[in-house]
């Protein structure tokens, strides 16, 4: 159930190695300047938080789906205090998308679109892409929302800084 608040949540999602974390870091201060106090959360940090309180989730699709509600609660901790959130995460699953869409009033979905073959060729996230199972884009088919609010294409032919500038321009129309 959505609660009324004015805080905005920007969820930046895409495959591992697509540039989500780097882009999030570059846009954080600009977003904060435009809309007010904004925290930057990384999906891996939220997963570590869950682990620290005894809720260890695996990487299988079923386990990934189980994180949707607890993650919503973490996001709401900030949003309910009118603190904006930039949350970057693989989150290419329908359960998370639908849960967060229902539970967050001011939500902007940003998809960093990148081809898994190009990510691997570029040499990003070798440790992850060398795993034998549970890698989204290799072993787990990504559930890509049909209509993300913003799409940024990463073909690895331009800098993260350029993509960040493009995202800021597009966010300025949404925020």
Q: Is 1 inside a domain boundary? A: no
Q: Is 70 inside a domain boundary? A: yes
Q: Is 30 inside a domain boundary? A: yes
Residue 124 vs residues 51, 67, 93, 165, 172: alpha-carbon distances, Å = 25, 25, 22, 22, 29
Q: Is 53 inside a domain boundary? A: yes
Domain hosting 42: range is 9-170
Q: Is 3 inside a domain boundary? A: no
**CATH number of domain containing 66:** 3.40.50.300
The whole-angstrom distance between residue 69's C-alpha and the CA centroid of its chain comes to: 15
- Could you report the per-residue pLDDT of 38-87, keeping only the tens digit for each? 999 999 999 899 989 998 888 888 888 899 999 999 999 999 999 999 99
Gap between the terminal Cα atoms of the chain: 22
| Best CA proximity match to 120, nearest among 37, 8, 6, 16 | 16
Q: Is 163 inside a domain boundary? A: yes
Q: What stretches of the chain adopt beta strand conformation (E)? A: 9-13, 38-42, 84-89, 107-113, 150-153
Q: Is 164 inside a domain boundary? A: yes
Would you say residue 32 has pLDDT above 50? yes
Q: Is 175 inside a domain boundary? A: no
Would you say residue 139 has pLDDT above 90? no
pTM of this prediction?
0.92
Q: How many domains is the chain partitioned into structurally?
A: 1
- Could you report the per-residue pLDDT of 99-126, keeping only the tens digit for each? 999 999 999 999 999 999 999 988 878 8
Which phi and psi (to 5°) does residue 171 adopt? -65, -35
| Best CA proximity match to 45, nearest among 26, 65, 24 | 24
In angstroms, rounded to a whole number, what is the distance separating the alpha carbons of residues 168 and 127?
A: 30
């Amino acid at each position: 159930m959505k609660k009324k608040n004015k805080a905005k949540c920007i969820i930046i999602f895409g495959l591992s190695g697509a540039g989500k974390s780097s882009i999030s870091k570059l846009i954080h201060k600009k977003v904060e300047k435009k809309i007010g106090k904004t925290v930057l959360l990384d999906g891996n940090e939220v997963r570590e938080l869950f682990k620290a309180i005894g809720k260890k989730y695996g990487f299988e699709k079923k386990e990934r789906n189980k994180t949707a509600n607890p993650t919503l609660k973490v996001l709401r901790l900030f949003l309910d205090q009118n603190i904006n959130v930039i949350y970057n995460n693989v989150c290419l699953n329908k359960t998370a998308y639908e849960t967060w869409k229902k539970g967050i009033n001011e939500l902007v979905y940003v998809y960093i679109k990148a081809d898994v073959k190009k990510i691997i060729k570029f040499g990003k996230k070798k440790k992850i892409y060398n795993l034998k199972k549970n890698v989204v884009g290799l072993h787990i088919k990504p559930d890509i929302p049909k209509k993300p609010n913003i799409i940024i294409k990463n073909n690895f032919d331009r800098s993260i800084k350029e993509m960040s500038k493009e995202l800021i321009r597009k966010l300025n129309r949404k925020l």
